[in-house]
Amino acid sequence: MSSLDRRQLLKAGASLAVGSTFVSLVGSQALAADPYAGAVLVDEDPAPIQPGSFTVAVLPDTQSYGEGHPEGFMAQTKWLVDNQKARNIAAALHLGDITNRSLPAQWDLAVAAMSQLDGKIPYFMVPGNHDYSAGGKCTDRTTLLNDYFPIDKFRTQKSFGGVYDKEPQKMENNYHLFSAGGRDFVVIGLEFGPRADVVRWANEVAAKHKDREAILITHAYMYFDESRYDWAEKGTKQHWNPHSYVVAKNSADDVMDGTELWDNLVSKHENFIMTLNGHVLYDGLGRMTSVTPGGRDVHQMLVNFQTKPKGGDGWLRLMEFTTDGGVNVVDYSPTRKQCNVSEQNKFALKLAKV
């Protein structure tokens, strides 16, 4: 399915036929008789990585595993550990909505799953809207993240860089440093709908590490239609923009969406190579490439599997960084033992040099 066909389908708001599959779009979420409409599934493991390559794994929106399917979350991180050597896995990135309703049992599952990576694969996390406030309702900035993933857990890791300078004991905004394949990276992780002063801090981190390739992870940035969130232009036409949440109303709208993060952070530095976010439903997929003032491409990706069966069917995104400056992307499920090789799930990118 082409990106254009996919976008038209998801925007239609009606029942449409896709091949032999009948898809019904109801309200704000695409519901399909076949949750794999548009997928191209193959019963195989990902292809071996090329000599000299390394892998960065992506775990988006694990929230639904805490609603009765813990095996999916546990299988994801176990597979990463089991395949760390073969795939030269350098880091794992969690894109937020760690939990669904911010319940202790859901946080316990997250700790059990992510702790399988301890001492084996460095991992970097950001909170999503469901990780805030009682019941995950995101009415304010309170979160249990620091109770279950305290800063002291990360300070002992050599990849740990630091946190937002105004909140030195909190992990909602953090940055990490890692090196792989002879290359140096900085991963900047920002809260859901980052506050203006948090973005000030993130600019300082990006500038301080201007010689490192920078990756931004935050929960809400891109929408499903190959565009960024843009409250000023599109408002409620894009569902789930951070500006539409009660936390924005309770903070004098001190939040930023994707377009604001592009304008106020990413485009201002010539070392960003990509951004990654989850959050968005529909098919949970999207990507776009934008050019900085200096003429460099920055790839931006939305990836979210939470609408798949059993909490997400264990799907991971694997990004193989190759020696020629490329990235080979493929989505893989260790529970289904399948790859999705549709054009939205398997593709190659060329990275700008830093």
For the chain, what percent of residues have pLDDT higher than 90? Answer: 89
Q: Kindly indicate the confidence band of residue 18, based on its pLDDT and cuts at 50, 70 and 90.
A: very low
3: helix, strand or coil: helix
- pLDDT of the residue at 300: 98
Average pLDDT, the chain: 92
Q: Kindly indicate the confidence band of residue 354, based on its pLDDT and cuts at 50, 70 and 90.
A: confident
pLDDT in tens, 213-260: 999 999 999 999 999 999 999 999 999 999 999 999 999 999 999 999
Residues whose CB falls within 8 Å of the CB of residue 111, separated by 6 or more in sequence, listed in order: 148, 149
Q: What is the mean pLDDT of residues 15-27?
A: 31
Residues whose CB falls within 8 Å of the CB of residue 122, separated by 6 or more in sequence, listed in order: 90, 91, 92, 157, 159, 176, 178
pLDDT in tens, 268-302: 999 999 999 999 999 999 999 999 999 999 999 99
Q: Between β-strands 21-26 and 16-18, what pairing exists: parallel, antiparallel or unpaired?
A: antiparallel
pLDDT in tens, 97-129: 999 999 999 999 999 999 999 999 999 999 999
Among 162, 170, 114, CA closest to 141: 170
pLDDT in tens, 131-177: 999 999 999 999 999 999 999 999 999 999 999 999 999 999 999 99
- List the beta bridge partners of residue 18: 21
pLDDT at 33 over 80: no
Taking a C-beta distance cutoff of 8 angstroms, is the pair 39, 340 a contact?
A: yes
Q: What is the mean pLDDT of residues 64-91?
A: 98
- pLDDT of the residue at 34: 80
Report how far Cα 145 is from the mean position of its chain's Cα atoms: 17
pLDDT at 17 over 80: no
Residue predicted with more confidence, 269 or 33? 269
What distance in Å separates the CA atoms of residue 63 and residue 107, rounded to the nearest whole number? 10
Q: What is the mean pLDDT of residues 180-202?
A: 98
Residue predicted with more confidence, 30 or 264? 264
What is the residue whose two structure tokens read 């669904």? 100
pLDDT at 8 over 80: no
Taking a C-beta distance cutoff of 8 angstroms, is the pair 122, 155 a contact?
A: no
Q: Kindly indicate the confidence band of residue 5, based on its pLDDT and cuts at 50, 70 and 90.
A: low
- List the beta bridge partners of residue 215: 187, 274
- pLDDT of the residue at 106: 98
